[in-house]
A and B are shown apart, each in its own frame.
Chain A
């Protein structure tokens, strides 16, 4: 069983996101470990990109902070290697296609495997284009995580059927960012996904509060939180450890229901 499967084994998963290198990579290592200890079942590490078109302002700014701090793909790999020596928490990268393409698909995915990365989320690589990377990913045992959006409609079937790791269900229209209210009928979307695949489905985009986490965990296999975590890091900088621990604990608690 892969590490990602374990994250969903007999439980609802709490998935946390943070941008690697924000505020610096030493802190990223510390924060990932803190989040894992506090109960995060899977952690998404963002490799910063200059132009993250699927991100709202909170994560855009984290990308800028990380790049300004000198974060590079190679340095992120080195950090992951260190993290992997200390924890078994499933780790996936979230980044845009260009840094991966530029590094070279084969080299990048090989390195992912060597460092202990389990999956890869690329918001600007939809179903139609993922063919250029899936075979290589399979060779190195890296799951390419597929996304399903409120607008996916009849596309849900084919996306779900080929999904690996987990299905990332985008809760709302627009970009990432904390939302007061999520109106999409996610229960129906998850229901359709379940008809097509046994791969777990986790909901992300806009979730920040324990009530939301609790609600979505009733029908989804997990919830993903990004902007709310990045906001804590933006506010507390190098001293965000305790805040992150408390926040992740409260969310994990909510997911348990």
Chain B
């Protein structure tokens, strides 16, 4: 069983294909191509090789012994997606999608990016597989993450700063969708999260589900039992969906997603879609969104550019509705403290996004028994965040 309901492309009432007519045939072609290639031995063989030989999979499941002892409760394991090539889980999805694009005969990929992780990963896969690549990134984000812009350019991608709307991730998605309607014949839009119109939420989930497929085997090997809880951060929700997927049918495994509460969910400076959002239709999907009383999409905020998105993937909205997964909100302050804590305790500088999940583990582990197990997804590494954390702490860095 999967959590997909009977109707294709739907997770309960969520999901669907709310996109302009211009894209409908293309999205249907994508769906057909994906249904074909996901069963294709050659495709899967090539993807497996790329994941192993290029991205560095399987990623480690590391027992965080010092953290475990310090927190004095459940045993904590870290799923080290930060060790992948390009430094985050994003590579899992883009290798799959860019390979799929190539098989479909596309010569060009476009993608949105927030912090730059998905943009860098897409540019990387496009360079490797020989496709042209253009990245849409909010102008605010290009300024906050100038290094990632240069990184994408080094990889041969063209980066378009998006100056519409709030000039962040949501606007980058708008612009990438607009560009896709402009040019579908030779171009695939490589979406970075488990969102957008069907089949994207399914495709991205499937490619990211390698995280939980490995983690499940690894924990059974190490502990001979399943974890009691699995924890991951949620923006659009790709690393969490990947981390949850193969545990969904294990009813005793708690699934916990950590949203960005920014300056607090009682302020208007947050990106906590499950806690504060409501049902809507946007970016091709019916799901939960932060929006105002007029149905206008609300500006959101988080210290983490990767979680700074006003919606959430439709499968998460569904897992929340049926009570299979629970979602908590983590403030900037909690995330930054967790970022510092795991650096000092385990010697790991993780992404500020991932630090939202670590913050939840810091709260949760002490409330659990010593023979219980938590796996937390370290979705990315934190080099990109060091300057922002220093700024947050009032440290003046001269680079």
Partners in one complex: yes
Write the A146-157 contact mask toward B (1 if CB under 8 angstroms, else 0).
111111110100
Cβ-defined contact, B22 with A102, below 8 A: no
A127 sits at the interface (CB 8 A)? yes
**Contact of A54 (CB < 8 Å), options: B20, B289, B296:** B20
Cβ-defined contact, B20 with A126, below 8 A: yes
B387 sits at the interface (CB 8 A)? no
In whole angstroms, how far apart are the Cα atoms of A140 and B115 in the complex? 46
For chain A, which range describes its interface: under 10, 10 to 19, 20 to 34, or 35 or more residues?
35 or more
Cβ-defined contact, A126 with B25, below 8 A: no
CB-based nearest B residue for A152: B21
Q: Which of A53, A96, A123, A124 has its CB near the most chain B CB atoms (within 10 A)?
A: A53
Q: Which of B164, B283, B286, B291 has its CB near the most chain A CB atoms (within 10 A)?
A: B164
B284 sits at the interface (CB 8 A)? yes
B174 sits at the interface (CB 8 A)? yes
B50 sits at the interface (CB 8 A)? no
Which of B56-64, B176-184, B211-219, B377-385 binds A? B176-184
A87 sits at the interface (CB 8 A)? no
Within 8 A of B (CB), among A23-76: 49-51, 53-54, 56-57, 60, 64, 67, 72-73
Within 8 A of B (CB), among A99-157: 99-103, 123-129, 146-153, 155
List residues of chain A with CB within 8 A of the CB of B17: 126, 128-129
Within 8 A of A (CB), among B8-30: 16-26
In whole angstroms, how far apart are the Cα atoms of A98 and B20 in the complex? 14
Cβ-defined contact, B24 with A102, below 8 A: no
B295 sits at the interface (CB 8 A)? yes
B251 sits at the interface (CB 8 A)? no
Cβ-defined contact, B284 with A49, below 8 A: no
List residues of chain B with CB within 8 A of the CB of A101: 279-281, 286, 295
Q: How far is the CB of A189 from chain B (nearest CB, A)?
A: 12
In whole angstroms, how far apart are the Cα atoms of A98 and B184 in the complex? 25
List residues of chain B with CB within 8 A of the CB of A148: 21
In whole angstroms, how far apart are the Cα atoms of A32 and B23 in the complex? 32
CB-based nearest B residue for A148: B21
Cβ-defined contact, B22 with A129, below 8 A: no
Chain B interface residues (CB < 8 Å from chain A)? 16-26, 164-165, 170-171, 174, 177-178, 181-184, 278-284, 286, 289, 291, 294-297
Chain A interface residues (CB < 8 Å from chain B)? 49-51, 53-54, 56-57, 60, 64, 67, 72-73, 96-103, 123-129, 146-153, 155, 159, 170, 173-175
Can you list 25 A-B contacts (CB < 8 A)? A49-B296, A51-B165, A51-B174, A53-B20, A54-B181, A98-B289, A98-B295, A101-B279, A101-B281, A123-B21, A124-B18, A124-B19, A125-B18, A126-B21, A127-B24, A128-B16, A128-B17, A149-B20, A149-B24, A151-B22, A151-B25, A152-B21, A152-B24, A170-B22, A174-B181
* Closest A-B pairs by Cβ, 7 of them: A102-B295, A174-B182, A149-B22, A99-B295, A50-B296, A97-B281, A149-B21
